[in-house]
Structure 1
Amino acid sequence: MAKTDFKTIDEYHRTFPAEVQERMQQIRKVIKEVAPDAEEVISYQIPAFKYKGYLIYYSAYAKHISLASPWSEAFLKEFEPELKKLKVTKSAIQLPAKNELPLGLIKRMVSFRKKENDQKI
């Protein structure tokens, strides 16, 4: 991968085809709806949102978009039924490009992460 130095989420988005940009914009919009006070940042050269610590990251690839965060056991248990259909690691959830984005699920996940961050402080 070429060396990058993104300063904004918009810069990151512009490096992808229009259909991928649209998918990322949908995720960005959901995050801002759930956590309007979240700060948009670039971390690890991918889009991230900070709300009382890191809330969630996302990144695009040829065949999927990943949502990332160090998922808690409580998070993974809460969303276990929905996550069974997806590739999941301790820190990432892959949303296949061939499928419609599960915006309702993403909204619930961001809400859950926001509550987790609220409880840490």
Structure 2
Amino acid sequence: MAKTDYKTIEQYHSTFPSEQQDRMQSIRNVIHSIVPEAEEVISYQIPCFKYKGYFIYYSAYTNHISLSYPFSEALLKTFDKELKKYKVSKSAIQFPNKEALPLDLIKRIVAFRKKENEKT
């Protein structure tokens, strides 16, 4: 794998086909609509947002886009039924590129993460 040194989310996005760029931008827009004060950074060479600490990440791959963070048991339990159709681990949710992004679900996950970070 080639070594990368992304400095901005735009640099990261620019390395993907336009369809994936659009999908990532949709997630980015959702994050900013829920947490307008979120700071954009690159962490682990992927897009990351900080709000009262590290908040949420996303990244693109050949077959999916991942929304990631070490998700709490509370978050995974809250969205358990809706997440059953996706590949989910404690730290990532994979949304297949062949399906429309579940933007309503992503909005609710982002809002949940915001509340979690506000408690710490």
Which bracket does the TM-score occupy, shorter chain normalised?
over 0.9
Secondary structure of 2:104's counterpart equals helix
CA distance in 1 between counterparts of 2:9 and 2:73 reads 29
CA distance in 1 between counterparts of 2:70 and 2:21 reads 24
TM-score by length of 2: 0.99
State the partner residue of 2:113: 113
State the partner residue of 1:47: 47
The Cα offsets for residues 27-59 of structure 1, whole Å up to 9 and x where unpaired, read as 000000000000000000000000001110000
The alignment covers a number of residue pairs equal to 120
State the partner residue of 2:85: 85
State the partner residue of 2:16: 16
Q: Which consecutive unaligned segments of at least 5 residues does structure 2 have?
A: none
State the identity %.
Answer: 69
Secondary structure of 1:114's counterpart equals helix
Shift of 1:61: 0.2
Partner letter of residue 51 of structure 1?
Y
1:56 is the counterpart of 2:72 = no
Partner letter of residue 59 of structure 1?
S
CA distance in 1 between counterparts of 2:27 and 2:62 reads 17
The Cα offsets for residues 50-105 of structure 1, whole Å up to 9 and x where unpaired, read as 00011100000000000000000000000000110000001000000000000000
1:4 is the counterpart of 2:7 = no
Shift of 1:9: 0.2
Secondary structure of 1:99's counterpart equals coil
Q: Which consecutive unaligned segments of at least 5 residues does structure 1 have?
A: none
TM-score by length of 1: 0.98
Structure 1 stretches of at least 4 aligned residues deviating more than 2 Å after TM superposition: none
Partner letter of residue 55 of structure 2?
L
